[in-house]
Amino acid sequence: MAKPVTRFVCQSCGAVTMKWAGKCETCGEWNTIEEEVLAGRPGPAGKASAGKRVSFVGLAGTAEPPPRAPVGIPELDRVLGGGLVPSSVVLVGGDPGIGKSTLLLQAAAQLARTGKRVLYVSGEESIEQVRLRARRLGVSDTSIELAAAINVRDIIASLEQTKDAALVVIDSIQTMWLDSIESAPGTVAQVRACSFELIRLAKTGSFSLVLVGHVTKDGSLAGPRVLEHMVDAVLYFEGDRGHQFRILRAVKNRFGATDEIGVFEMTERGLAEVPNPSALFLAERRGNIAGSAVFAGLEGTRPVLVEVQALLAPNPSGSPRRSVIGWDGGRLGMLLAVLETRAGVRMNQTDVYLNIAGGLRVNEPAADLAIAAAIASAAFDKPTSPGMVYFGEIGLSGEVRQVAQAEARLKEAAKLGFDSAALPRRLAHGNRKLAAPEGLRLEEIGHITDLVARFAPESTKNG
């Protein structure tokens, strides 16, 4: 047997060093380096074997689109890019308790109902706990085969016997354990080695593998970012535990688009799909309150209307607070500076609180106009018109810039009964005419001063 090999691995970025250090040289994190002992080198012991010849082929040739098996949960299938691809590996990440096990048990049950063979390996919960959840979800009668196991060698030996499985779920990868590595489950070394073995099996077999991964408090997948490179798709399941909405977001997908989202609602009996998220996100909106504006946003290919709320409070201390939920704090700072410098809206003695209602996270710069409208509305204590949606990016000189997919946004607004939209000014030349849905009035806003003028009382308009 080979002499044990010791090395040091950063638990945050996976960098390997020969010496222990307090700070990782690669990612700069402190106290993340841990010793790792390999019982022997992986692979065949003894002399390195001579390599086999790799065959190279030309670029022309048939590349069939990968076959897909729709799971039967449209919100999930959309995020997957149409369904599960055989021999592919999907990583589903999310905070503990957000609903990953619930989603995957429901997905497994849907697939099992179509007659496919589905294996569910739970390393976190006992058989009894999973059965309880299955009962709650009403899926106890499906043909899912369940095992409680954490030893990857045992799992692999069992999977090699079951050639006809369509889906294998490993819940979660942080609980898996491989005996050739001496660190504890959940460490980078274990997570990486276990994933590697399981992924290798999936690639040679014909089943889809789903790995569940927990997310640490700073938002990265516990342990290795390395894992994200090893899998074909990474989906994040996010949401605020205080809200019932859950959003499944693709951050990487070798077989589909990465900006798609699926929207779910956590109910007493599991996750329910939300085919019309706009209606849900606007459900609790109260009209006629200053500081609220509706943003016509886009998540992937899908328009989503959300309410933006701003609250301003006087703070004479000279160091006002800026607090943001659901949007980028840096971008809020920029917008406040533009409002102040270009439109004269003073904010230096005002605390600004900004919230995207419903727990959604908005990443689009197109939200600028809606956010500026909410802030201006709060600053002058004048409500935005209740039937209006806003979208447009704001540049540093205060100009309102074009954004993609204006038509889809307008259509969604019309569908939900809005009667007007504030949007960037159409370019005079070259731009094709915007087809506005019937009954929707378009109000073009060329500059942030035009926006502020809608809220500011007459006397301050020119001063």
Query: Which amino acid is it at 169?
Result: V
Q: Contact region for ligand TYD (CB under 6 A) — 90-98, 108-116, 273-281, 298-306?
A: 90-98
Long-range contacts from 24-28, C-beta under 8 angstroms, 24+ separation: none
Q: Contact region for ligand TYD (CB under 6 A) — 198-206, 264-272, 298-306, 432-440?
A: 264-272
Q: In the bound complex, what is the minimum distance in angstroms from residue 343's beta carbon to ligand TYD?
A: 44
Nearer to Mg ion, 101 or 208 (CB): 101
Which one-letter DSSP state was computed for residue 372?
A: H
Nearer to Mg ion, 64 or 268 (CB): 268
Q: In the bound complex, what is the minimum distance in angstroms from residue 189's beta carbon to ligand TYD?
A: 23
H-helix segments, 302-397:
329-343, 368-379
Give the one residue of 80, 91, 98, 312 binding ligand TYD; rule: CB under 6 A: 98
- The site partner of 411 among Mg ion, ligand TYD, none (C-beta below 5 to 8 Å per kind) is none
Q: Contact region for ligand TYD (CB under 6 A) — 96-104, 159-167, 351-359, 363-371?
A: 96-104
What's the maximum distance between 2 C-alpha atoms anywhere in the chain? 87
CA dihedral over 132, 137, 140, 145, signed as positive or negative: negative
Give the one residue of 74, 96, 329, 330 binding ligand TYD; rule: CB under 6 A: 96
Nearer to ligand TYD, 197 or 238 (CB): 238
- Encode burial over 100-119: b for 16+ CB neighbours within 10 A, e otherwise: bbbbbbbbbbbbbeeebbbb
Q: Do 306 and 247 meet the contact criterion of CB atoms below 8 Å apart?
A: no
Please, which of residues 90-109 interact with Mg ion by CB under 5 A? 101
The pairing of strands 89-94 and 233-238 is parallel
Q: Do 432 and 425 meet the contact criterion of CB atoms below 8 Å apart?
A: no
Nearer to Mg ion, 203 or 269 (CB): 269
Nearer to ligand TYD, 100 or 409 (CB): 100
Nearer to ligand TYD, 138 or 417 (CB): 138
Question: What are residue 348's DSSP bridge partners?
Answer: none
Q: Contact region for ligand TYD (CB under 6 A) — 35-43, 130-138, 194-202, 387-395?
A: 130-138
- Encode burial over 39-54: b for 16+ CB neighbours within 10 A, e otherwise: eeeeeeeeeeeeeeee
- The site partner of 186 among ligand TYD, Mg ion, none (C-beta below 5 to 8 Å per kind) is none
Q: Do 183 and 37 meet the contact criterion of CB atoms below 8 Å apart?
A: yes
Q: In the bound complex, what is the minimum distance in angstroms from residue 171's beta carbon to Mg ion?
A: 6
Q: In the bound complex, what is the minimum distance in angstroms from residue 106's beta carbon to ligand TYD?
A: 9
The per-residue DSSP string of 186-243 comes to TSHHHHHHHHHHHHHHHHHSSSEEEEEEEB-TTSSBSS-SHHHHHSSEEEEEE--TTS
Q: In the bound complex, what is the minimum distance in angstroms from residue 262's beta carbon to Mg ion?
A: 18
For the beta carbon of residue 462, count every other beta carbon within 10 angstroms: 7
Residue window 223-262: x/- pattern of binding to ligand TYD, with contact defined by CB under 6 A: ----------------------------------------
Residue window 32-61: x/- pattern of binding to ligand TYD, with contact defined by CB under 6 A: ------------------------------
Residue 58: Cβ-neighbour burial (10 angstroms; 0-12, 13-18, 19+)? exposed
270 binds ligand TYD (CB under 6 A): yes
Distances 385 to 290, 373, 422 between C-alpha atoms, Å: 10, 11, 10
For the beta carbon of residue 25, count every other beta carbon within 10 angstroms: 10
43: Cα separation from own chain's centroid:
36
Coil, helix or strand at residue 169: strand
Nearer to ligand TYD, 15 or 139 (CB): 139
For tokens 């946004």, name the residue.
409
- The site partner of 401 among Mg ion, ligand TYD, none (C-beta below 5 to 8 Å per kind) is none
230: tokens are: 């090893």
Please, which of residues 136-175 interact with ligand TYD by CB under 6 A? 136-137
Nearer to ligand TYD, 107 or 298 (CB): 107
Total residues contacting ligand TYD by CB under 6 A comes to 15
Give the one residue of 4, 67, 97, 329 binding ligand TYD; rule: CB under 6 A: 97
Query: Which amino acid is it at 340?
Result: E
Question: What are residue 297's DSSP bridge partners?
Answer: 304
Q: In the bound complex, what is the minimum distance in angstroms from residue 100's beta carbon to ligand TYD?
A: 3
Please, which of residues 390-449 interact with Mg ion by CB under 5 A? none
- The site partner of 102 among ligand TYD, Mg ion, none (C-beta below 5 to 8 Å per kind) is ligand TYD
Nearer to ligand TYD, 270 or 297 (CB): 270
Give the one residue of 23, 200, 229, 269 binding ligand TYD; rule: CB under 6 A: 269
User: Residues in the site for ligand TYD, rule: CB under 6 A?
Assistant: 94, 96-102, 133, 136-137, 266, 268-270
User: Residues in the site for Mg ion, rule: CB under 5 A?
Assistant: 101
